[in-house]
Each structure stands twice: as structure tokens, then as C-alpha cells.
Amino acid sequence: MSDTRISVTDTLDAPVERVFALLADPDRHPDLDGSGTVHASHTHLAITEVGDVFVMEMDHPDRGRYRVENHVVRYEPDRALAWMPARVGATPSGHVWGWELEPDSDDRTVVTHYHDWAELTDPELLARVREVTPDEMRMTIGNLAEALA
């Protein structure tokens, strides 16, 4: 961890291809979210390349319901997936949510989930980027493991 990045890692009992396919399906993200803020996908299409945009409905205790556009900035099949959130119709503000996958064997995968805000440009968001905690991110990986079981 650093002042501008949180990451958590665990090893899951599933092949890397299954892990990646689940992460690339925005409709499953509400099932995985350990923070409780991701509520619904409005895109209903799998992520297939850098440049894809998927829309999620969020719900935060202080901000209520709102939508974000997630701009895919990294897509490496069975290896990595990352996106930059933005207000609908706006340019991403520079923080990245991502996943890195490493096969541990044919049926096990080392999974790293990270949030990086080193390039954050919106000062309004600076106070909010640490709202999701490492424990909530670990819960997300746990939810991913359950979804793959």
C-alpha cells in the first residue's frame, strides 16, 4: 500500500479463465462488491477491450443513488482488467479500480484487487477515494471466491 494505492491479494480455487470471465461481466459486479455501494449494471454486455464503457448504478449513504460510467483502461485476457470511473458524460477523474490475475496452477488463481488514485485530477474526489477500505476490498475477493464456487 501507499498514499495513493490500496491493493489486496488472495489465492482462489478457480482457473484464471473463469475468474477473468466473471470480472469482465458488469452484471455480476453488484454480487461481488464488498463495500455495498454497487447496485446494478445498466450495460448488460461483457467487457471486451480497452475503451469499453459500462454504466453502474451506485448507492452511497451520504450521496444517495447515482450512476457512474466506467471507462476500461486495461484489458489483458486472463491477466488484468481495470477501469476509471467518471460522472455520466464526464471525463474520468484519474482514479483506477483494477484486477490482476496470475495462474497458480490449472485450477488456482492469485487475485489482486487494487484502487489507485495517483493520477486523480478532481480535488472534490480526493477526500472520497479512501472510502472503500482494504477490508471491504478483501470482502470483494471473498465474494468473488463464493461466486466461483
Spatial neighbors of 58 by CB under 8 A, at least 6 apart, are 37, 38, 39, 65, 66, 67, 68
Q: What cell was used for 9?
A: 491479494
Strands (E), the chain: 5-12, 38-41, 53-60, 64-76, 80-87, 96-105, 108-116
Q: Tell me, what's the pLDDT at 32?
A: 96
CB distance 132 to 116 below 8 Å: no
79: region left, alpha or beta (phi > 0 left; psi from -120 to 50 alpha): alpha
Element (H, E) at 20: helix 16-23
CB distance 114 to 100 below 8 Å: yes
Q: In this structure, are strands 38-41 and 53-60 parallel, antiparallel, or unpaired?
A: antiparallel
Rounded to whole angstroms, how far apart are CA atoms 84 and 62? 22
Q: Tell me, what's the pLDDT at 4?
A: 92
Whole-angstrom CA distances from 104 to 85, 108, 130 are: 30, 5, 30
Q: Tell me, what's the pLDDT at 6?
A: 95
Task: Summarize pLDDT for 14-52 with one digit per residue, the tens.
Answer: 999 999 999 999 999 999 999 989 999 998 999 999 999
Cell numbers 485476457: residue: 77
Higher pLDDT, 54 or 132: 54
Task: Summarize pLDDT for 51-103 with one digit per residue, the tens.
Answer: 999 999 999 888 889 999 999 999 999 999 999 999 999 999 899 999 999 99
Element (H, E) at 94: none
Q: Tell me, what's the pLDDT at 1?
A: 57
